[in-house]
Amino acid sequence: MLRLLLWIRRHQRAIPPLWREIVLIGAFFGIYTLIQDNTPLHAAAALHRGASLLRIERDLHIDVETPMDHWAAGIEPIAVVANYYYVVLHFLVPAGILLWMHQRRPERYRFERNVLMWITVVSLVCFWLAPTAPPRLLPGGGFIDTVAKFHTIGGYETGATKHAADQFASMPSMHIALALWSAVTMYRLARHRGMRIGWLFYPIGTSLSVLLTGNHYLLDIVAGVAAWVCGVLLAITFRAAGRAVDRSLDADREETPPEGVGEHVPATTIRM
């Protein structure tokens, strides 16, 4: 088994790093999309969970998404900005950070990339096991779908995504989890204090956008924070396991002598 792992590691290093990462990340998100597209819709259950979350929030008087959504829907420029913030930056910002790290901070790239992947895995498991409808889809919830009202490009109201299972991927909020990943990563890596502090406002802006557009509940934001924490813990755990494997591989190589070394040579073969 150790020899197999050593062979994999040796051939993995033989692939150009950039191409290896492109293939790895492309394959990962291809599998993610395939699973997401084939997730059972369970619309009735998703709507029931969404209504339950909203009822809990209203009982606790923390349903801030309701007045925020109504306020944004009445001011078109604010609603449009929130819509595009929600639709565009979700993938653009993490992708840009990954590319920047690969080129400028390669020593941190692999770990942060793994955190991002684990966040996605944790979220996907939740979407599969407990699909939840967002506020904007709840019948009688009183929400205004700002993405549909102002015809934002990239929304779920047109094309093939209209009936996608991803519409019921409300809990946890991946927007929040990825925004936290982006902000914390850049806070740790940015060299200037002002830039580090500036990145802390990104998750705040994301939280506002998901509430203003009626795409998430306040409790989804809390769950998004939990998904980010789980991603970090899983990445740390598997990094430790990988280092243990590397130590075992190194020990195995040191204990295994090169071919032919240490073999007994018959005395009759020795020539003077």
pLDDT for position 186: 94
| 43's tokens | 């619309």
Distance CA 63, CA 226 (A): 19
pLDDT for position 3: 59
Q: Provide CB contacts within 8 A for 161, sequence distance 6+.
A: 155, 167
Q: Which residue has the higher pLDDT, 30 or 92?
A: 92
| 94's tokens | 């993490």
First-to-last alpha carbon distance for the chain, in angstroms, is: 44
- Return phi, psi of residue 132, to 5°: -135, 130
Position 162 confidence tier, pLDDT thresholds 50, 70, 90: very low
Q: Where are the alpha helices (DSSP H) in 61-105?
A: 65-73, 76-104
pLDDT for position 227: 96
Q: What percent of the chain has pLDDT over 70?
A: 75
pLDDT for position 191: 86
pLDDT for position 30: 73
pLDDT for position 39: 61
pLDDT for position 142: 87
* Virtual torsion, Cα 127, 132, 136, 138, nearest 10 deg: 160
Amino acid (one-letter) located at 193? R
Model pLDDT for residues 163-182, shown as the tens digit of each residue: 444 678 889 999 999 999 99
Model pLDDT for residues 229-238, shown as the tens digit of each residue: 999 999 999 8
Domain definitions of the chain by residue range = 2-248
Model pLDDT for residues 180-214, shown as the tens digit of each residue: 999 999 999 988 888 899 999 999 999 999 999 99
Model pLDDT for residues 34-74, shown as the tens digit of each residue: 766 666 667 888 899 999 999 999 999 999 999 999 999 99
Q: What percent of the chain has pLDDT over 90?
A: 43
pTM of the model: 0.79
Buried/exposed code over 49-84 (b: 16+ C-beta within 10 A; e: otherwise)? bbbebbeebeeeeebebbebbeebbeeeeebbebbb
Position 28 confidence tier, pLDDT thresholds 50, 70, 90: confident
